Amino acid sequence: MSNPHLPAGPDETRHLELLSEHRELSEPTVAPPQSNGRGSARTWVLASLLVAGLAGAAALGTFGWRVADQRDTALTTPDQLAGLHRVVDADAAQTEEDLRTAIAAGINLDDSVAAIYRSADDADRPVLVFGGTTLIWQPERDLDTLIHDLATDAATEEVPAGRYGGVMKCGLASDETGMFAVCGWADHGSAVLALFPSRTVEEAAPLLREMREQMQSRG
């Protein structure tokens, strides 16, 4: 047995070296953690789903706000509208009833309106306007359906809808009397069509926007 206070001899020094080497070899080697790429991929997938979910929620929120803003809509047919006066006689009343029936066949309305307007010095170019109010989930689809049901040959194009928004479309159609412009608008609270005999789309579109400003209200 060696004395710890005395220097170790050659054999004892060699013995200590062997013990040290044995201890180093015996200690377990801990390898650093390695990524197989699955954790990173999972993170990207979760991040993508989160972004998509947030985008979907934002779109749904915008849609819901638009529906809430537009659904509470009212329509009127005043005696004077966009520089035109309303025609009030038996023939006009019968035509208005026919127009109400025509639009009711394409969409269920809570309230409906119909009226015929003309200028005092231009009796040959009346404007027939009819429609109503209800909750509409897909305004453009319903507007396309209404126009197609009324004028199957009308090739419509979208035009500016004005401050009330929604969608407005105009096109040319024909019947036994000749060509006429047909225009309409729809939003989440109303759908209205107008017929413009002897008028072009370029004349009809701004006229309907002006009529809408005076016919429609919200809130």
Q: Per-residue confidence of the chain (219 residues) as pLDDT tens digits?
A: 444 444 444 454 554 454 455 454 445 555 555 556 566 666 666 666 555 555 555 555 676 766 777 678 999 999 999 999 999 999 999 999 999 999 998 899 999 999 999 998 888 899 999 999 999 999 999 999 999 988 888 889 999 999 999 999 999 998 887 889 999 999 999 999 999 999 999 999 999 999 999 999 998
**Cβ-contact 183, 208 below 8 angstroms:** yes
pLDDT at residue 152, rounded to an integer: 82
Separation between Cα atoms, residue 136 and residue 103, nearest integer Å: 14
Separation between Cα atoms, residue 129 and residue 112, nearest integer Å: 11
pLDDT at residue 64, rounded to an integer: 77
pLDDT at residue 39, rounded to an integer: 61
pLDDT at residue 1, rounded to an integer: 46
pLDDT at residue 42, rounded to an integer: 66
55: exposed, middle or buried (C-beta count within 10 Å: 0-12, 13-18, 19+)?
exposed
119: exposed, middle or buried (C-beta count within 10 Å: 0-12, 13-18, 19+)?
middle
Question: Which structure tokens are listed for 42?
Answer: 């999972």
pLDDT at residue 99, rounded to an integer: 94
Separation between Cα atoms, residue 100 and residue 97, nearest integer Å: 5
pLDDT at residue 112, rounded to an integer: 95
DSSP H or E stretch at residue 23:
helix 10-26
The torsion angles phi and psi of 143, rounded to 5 degrees, stand at -65, -45
Q: What is the pTM of this model?
A: 0.71
pLDDT at residue 199, rounded to an integer: 94
Comparing C-alpha atoms, which of 137, 114, 134 is closest to residue 126? 114
pLDDT at residue 35, rounded to an integer: 53
pLDDT at residue 86, rounded to an integer: 98
